[in-house]
Amino acid sequence: MSKRLAEPLDGPTVAQLRAWSREHAVTIACGIAERSGNRCHNTAVIVSEGELVMVYRKTQLWLADFDKFAPGAEFRAVPWRGTTLGALICFDIEFPETAAAWPCSAPGCSPSAMATWCRIGTCIARWRRRVRWRTRCSSRWPIGGCRAQRHVRRRSLIADPEGNILAEADG
């Protein structure tokens, strides 16, 4: 299914994100299934002021991902309003090295936009713990979002570098 739905970075999904970003003067982090040549990637994009400013391809693939996606090769970050934004996708958050590996312009003050989701309702608690743990490992400010679907919608959160959840959408 992901291969059928995958789009290139200049496809309609990223074009719509760019239009919304420009129209509403916002920065958007979003996960997409990306097609690049004959490969598919589980990709996070960040668009700001109508421009595609960052592309991150998931590096840590889950066993079920290998028949759908190719792994990314590097961690990406982008300067944004005096700080740095980076991304992690799903299983990436299981490894402390991934959060610590982002390029960083100022240690201790770099927000992290995480495009992540859970497939089953019971993994929400585990995901919340991982976001908090990775925050402590990396001294970053994580902004985590869950996939919008019936059993996990509205579980996005923001935590401080100590792992304290500052705000969480009610689910």
pTM: 0.77
Q: Would you call 88 helix, strand, or coil by DSSP?
A: coil
Digit-coded pLDDT (tens) for 93-113: 777 677 666 665 444 445 555
Cα(119)–Cα(102) distance, rounded to whole angstroms?
26
pLDDT of residue 145: 63
E strand map for the chain: 27-36, 39-48, 51-57, 77-80, 83-86, 111-115, 141-145, 157-159, 165-168
Digit-coded pLDDT (tens) for 114-164: 545 555 455 667 767 776 666 666 666 666 665 555 544 556 677 776 777
The alpha-carbon radius of gyration of the chain (Å, integer) is 15
Digit-coded pLDDT (tens) for 63-85: 888 888 999 988 877 777 777 77
- Higher pLDDT: 138 or 56? It is 56
**170 pLDDT exceeds 70?**
no
CB 105 within 8 A of CB 131: no
pLDDT of residue 25: 94
* Secondary structure tally for the chain: helices H, strands E: 4, 9
pLDDT of residue 101: 67
b/e per residue 135-165 (b: at least 16 CB within 10 A): beebbbbbbbbbeeeeebeebbbbbeeeeee
- Which CATH code is given to the segment(s) 2-168? 3.60.110.10
**50 pLDDT exceeds 70?**
yes
pLDDT of residue 135: 66
Domains of the chain, residue spans: 2-168
Q: What is the strand order of the sheet 111-115 is part of?
A: 111-115, 141-145, 157-159, 165-168
| Alpha carbon 98 to its chain's center | 12
- Nearest to 98, CA basis, from 41, 131, 71, 60: 60
**Pairing state between β 165-168 and 157-159:** antiparallel
pLDDT of residue 82: 73
